[in-house]
């Protein structure tokens, strides 16, 4: 029984590490949120779905980062699937593991420190809803 618990504990730790690594970069967070907003089974066009609307980017450089870093990282964890032509992303088989992080943050927006909310359009909107 101890061996099973140990093995399960190691797997859980590894899954959480992958989730936090996946959400450690803004383009990946934006893509996850875009996929949350889309209907299950629908795709999100890229690079638009991974760009923070408040931060300008160099389109060519950003697309290269998507191809070589962000999309492979999310796909490796099973969080998304993506296609090159046209460039778009879909929810992967483990999408729920990253989605729950953002759903929980949105539900807790009124309890989060201002330093994590002000400047984040989605969390600001969620906080305003709860304050009304």
What CATH number does residue 56 fall under?
A: 1.10.10
Q: pLDDT band at 1, cuts 50/70/90?
A: low
Count up the domains in the chain and report the number: 1
Residue 108 domain-assigned (yes or no): no
Model pTM score = 0.87
Does any domain span residue 22? yes
Domain presence at residue 8: yes
More confident residue, 116 or 98: 98
Does some domain include residue 29? yes
Q: Which residue segment(s) compose the domain that 86 sits in? A: 2-93
Give the CA radius of gyration of the chain.
16
* 72 DSSP 8-state letter: H
How do residues 74-111 score in pLDDT, each as one tens digit? 999 999 999 999 999 999 999 999 999 999 988 888 88
In a domain, 116, yes or no: no
Tens-place pLDDT, residues 30-84 = 999 999 999 999 999 999 999 988 888 898 999 999 999 999 999 999 999 999 9
Q: 32 in a domain, yes or no?
A: yes
Residue 51: what pLDDT?
A: 92
Of residues 22 and 120, more confidently modeled: 22
Nearest to 116, CA basis, from 100, 105, 107, 128: 105
């Amino acid at each position: 029984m101890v061996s099973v618990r140990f093995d399960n504990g190691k797997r859980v730790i590894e899954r959480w590490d992958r989730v936090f690594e996946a959400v450690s970069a803004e383009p990946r967070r934006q893509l996850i949120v875009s996929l949350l907003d889309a209907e299950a089974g629908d795709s999100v066009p890229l690079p638009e779905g991974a760009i923070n609307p408040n931060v300008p980017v160099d389109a060519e450089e950003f697309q290269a980062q998507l191809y070589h870093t962000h999309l492979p990282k999310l796909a490796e964890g099973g969080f998304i699937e993506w296609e090159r032509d046209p460039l778009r992303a879909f929810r992967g088989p483990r999408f729920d593991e990253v989605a729950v992080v953002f759903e929980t943050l949105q539900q807790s927006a009124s309890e989060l420190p201002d330093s994590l909310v002000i400047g984040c359009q989605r969390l600001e909107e969620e906080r305003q809803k709860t304050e009304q």
